[in-house]
A and B are shown apart, each in its own frame.
Chain A
Amino acid sequence: MKVSVVALVAAVATLAAAPSFADAKSDAKTQVEFGINVAQRGLWREAIYRWQKATEIDPTYAAAYNDLAIAYEHEGQLDKARKAYEKAIELDPNNTQVRQNYELFKEINDRTTQGKDK
C-alpha cells in the first residue's frame, strides 16, 4: 500500500514536471531562433544576449553554445568563443557542423598565437 502511494506520488511529480521541462526547452529554442534572426541582420550583440539566455534556460542545449561561440568569434572574443565551442562539442560530440565550425575557429585562433617568439 505504502509503496504504491510513493509510486503514485512519484508519477504525479514526474507528470507535473514534464510540461515545465518542455516549456524550458521551448523557451530556449525560441531564444535561439530569435538570436539567429537578429544575427542574420547583423545585430550580433542582441544575438549574444539571446543565446546566453538560451544556455541559462537549458544548459544542455548544444546548438545554443555553438551559436554563442560564433557570435563571440565575430566579436573578436576568442577565449569565450573557444570555451563555448568546447561546451557545444562536450554536449553533442557527434555533431559534424559544430566540429567543422570549431576547426575553422581554431585555424584563426592559431594564427593569432603561432610564430610568437617573445
Chain B
Amino acid sequence: MTGPHRAKTSSVALAAVAVCCAAFALACGPDYYEIPIETPIQPKMDVTPFQRVLVVGFVAGGSEDVDANQETVRLLRSQLRTKSSLKVIDADILQLIDVAREQGAATPANAPDDVTSGATPSVRPSQTFALPKDIKDEKDLEPYERLFANTAYWKRIGEEFQNPLIVTGTVLFSSRSTSGFVQRDQETYDSLGRRIVRPVRTYMERKGFILQPKFVFIDGRTGATMYSERYREEILYNAQQNTPALSSYFELMDRLVPNFLSALSSQKIRGTRVLLK
C-alpha cells in the first residue's frame, strides 16, 4: 500500500516543482526579443537638380557570351524606372568603345584637355592604337577612362537630352576557372539515425564569372563627373554544372543593383536584430 502512495506523492511534488519553475520563467520573461528594423540609407549624391536620368551606355568587355553594354543599360533603366523618382530617358544605347576610338583619332595632338599634352605629334598614332578593340581585362579598359573626363562631349550629350543626370561607366564580365580544396558540409546518419553534419575538404574544379562594373554619374548640365564607384562580384560553380553566362550575369548584377540605386535614391534595408534586457 505504501509503495504506490509514495510514488504518487513524489510525482505530485515533481509536478508542483515544474509548475513553480514555469511560473518563475514566465514571471521573469525572456532576456532577448527579436525585432524587425528598417535601416534608411541616404543617397550618396544629391540628385535633386535632376528630373531625368539617361543611362547612356558602357564601355564593356570580357566574355563574348553576353553583351554587357546592352544588358547593363537595359537592367539599370528598368531598375531606375521602378525604384527611383527620376524619369528614365529611352534613347538608343551608345557604343562607347566606338565613341572613344573616334575621339582618340579626332583629338589634335596639342589639345589642351589631352592627358598626353606636351607629347610630340609622333606619339599620336601609338595613342590611338592604345585603345584596344577587344577588351579582355582591366588593363584593356584603362585607356577608355579618358572618355569620362571629356566634359565637352558629355555636356553635348546633356544638351541633347535637356540636361539629365547621365549614367555611364565600364563593365567587365569575364569567365573564370579555378581548382583547389573547398570546404563543404557532409551530412551523415549514425547508427541511432541521428543526423550529423561534418565539414569536409574536397578537391574541386570550378568555373564561373567575375563582374566588375564601374558606374560613373555625370552632370548633364556641365559634363563633369559627379560621382563614381566600382564593384567586383564573383560566382563559381562546380565545373560539371553548365550555367548560362547570361543567368550568371543577372545573378551578379542582382547583388550590385542595391548599391547602384543607393547612389541616387534613399533605400530602406530590412533586417532583424536582437534587443537585450
Given A63-B276, A111-B262, verify A117-B228 contact (CB < 8 Å): yes
Interface residue A32 (Cβ < 8 Å from any Cβ of B): yes
**B28-43 vs A: 1/0 string, CB under 8 Å?**
0000110101111110
Closest to B41 in A: A112
Query: Number of contacts between A and B (CB, 8 Å)?
Result: 76
Given A115-B230, A117-B214, verify A108-B40 contact (CB < 8 Å): no
**Contact, CB under 8 Å: B277 / A70:** no
Chain B nearest CB: distance from A93 CB in Å?
Answer: 14
What are the residues of chain B within 8 A of A97 when measuring CB–CB?
32, 274, 276
Interface of A: prevailing SS: helix
| CA of A74 to CA of B228, assembled, Å | 27
**Contact, CB under 8 Å: A67 / B276:** yes
Interface of B: prevailing SS: strand
**Contact, CB under 8 Å: B262 / A112:** yes
Chain B nearest CB: distance from A40 CB in Å?
Answer: 7
Given A36-B277, A118-B228, verify A76-B41 contact (CB < 8 Å): yes
Interface size class of A (residues with CB under 8 A): 20 to 34
Given A33-B277, A70-B275, A76-B42, verify A117-B230 contact (CB < 8 Å): yes
Chain A nearest CB: distance from B167 CB in Å?
Answer: 14
Residues of A within 8 A of B (CB): 29, 32-33, 36, 39-40, 62-63, 66-67, 70, 73-76, 78, 95, 97-98, 100-101, 104-105, 108, 111-112, 114-118
**16 other A-B residue contacts (CB within 8 Å) besides A39-B275, A73-B39:** A29-B277, A33-B277, A40-B35, A62-B276, A66-B276, A67-B276, A70-B273, A74-B37, A95-B276, A100-B274, A111-B41, A112-B42, A114-B259, A115-B259, A117-B228, A118-B225
Residues of B within 8 A of A (CB): 32-33, 35, 37-42, 44, 214, 225, 227-231, 258-259, 262, 269, 271, 273-277
Of all A-B residue pairs in the complex, the 4 with the closest CB atoms, nearest first, are: A63-B276, A115-B229, A76-B40, A117-B228
